[in-house]
């Protein structure tokens, strides 16, 4: 498995306003992530993220979401970590709005790797101290450091 610190860089850690709806948040996410994925347009990425959401919400609960998708024309996984200024309804099982997101885009054939990366992210978000610390910072560098702290 590729380590998460090779999939997520500090340049893809964002703090701020992404929009007032899940759709707008995913659109902004696609705009920001597309710059890191050569050969992929914002629209392609957005379409795939929305298609995945139609299968079921990627909202985990407790204000956390893991939007993710597969793309045919990429050769490596790419991720982003986002702390939203305003929490957004992600249709999570617990109905809590989302303010923390980890987005993951993987090559279409990377089934096992995709699941392993998602499991590693969930493990980090299962640590309540880490989640609380992530919510307490507005600095992208600090957000990145805290996400990997202890791992």
- Residue 93: how many CB atoms within 10 A of its CB? 11
101-145 pLDDT, tens digit per residue, is: 999 998 887 667 778 888 999 999 999 999 999 999 999 999 999
Which of 22, 32, 68, 114 does the annotation list as catalytic?
68
Long-range contacts of 46-55 (CB under 8 A, 24+ apart): 48/105, 49/103, 50/23, 50/26, 53/22, 53/26
Checking DSSP bridges between strand 13-16 and strand 59-61, what pairing results, if any? unpaired
Residue 48 has pLDDT above 90, yes or no: yes
Closest CA to 134 of 123, 151, 149: 149
Q: For the residues 33-58, what does the mean pLDDT come to?
A: 94
State the total domains in the chain. Answer: 1
d(CA 64, CA 150): 20
pLDDT band, residue 38 (cuts 50/70/90):
confident
Query: At 4, is the secondary structure helix, strand, or coil?
Result: helix
Give the domain range for residue 55: 4-148
Can you tell me the distance from the alpha carbon of 105 to that of 35, in angstroms, rounded to the nearest whole number? 13
List all residues 6 or more positions away from 70 whose beta carbon is below 8 Å from its beta carbon. 48, 105, 106, 107, 108, 110, 114
At 150 the pLDDT is 62
Q: Active-site residue 114, yes or no?
A: no
CATH of the domain at 105: 3.40.930.10
């Amino acid at each position: 498995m590729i380590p998460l610190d090779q999939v997520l860089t500090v340049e893809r850690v964002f703090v701020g306003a992404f929009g007032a709806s899940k759709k707008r948040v995913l659109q902004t996410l696609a705009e920001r992530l597309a710059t890191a994925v050569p050969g992929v347009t914002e629209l392609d990425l957005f379409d795939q993220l929305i298609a995945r959401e139609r299968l079921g919400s990627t909202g985990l609960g407790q204000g956390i979401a893991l939007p993710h998708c597969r793309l045919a024309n990429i050769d490596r996984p790419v991720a982003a970590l986002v702390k939203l200024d305003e929490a957004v309804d992600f249709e999570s099982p617990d109905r809590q709005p989302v303010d923390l997101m980890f987005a993951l885009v993987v090559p279409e054939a990377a089934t096992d790797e995709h699941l392993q990366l998602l499991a590693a992210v969930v493990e980090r978000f299962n640590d309540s101290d880490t989640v609380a610390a992530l919510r307490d910072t507005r600095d992208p560098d600090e957000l990145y450091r805290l996400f990997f702290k202890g791992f």
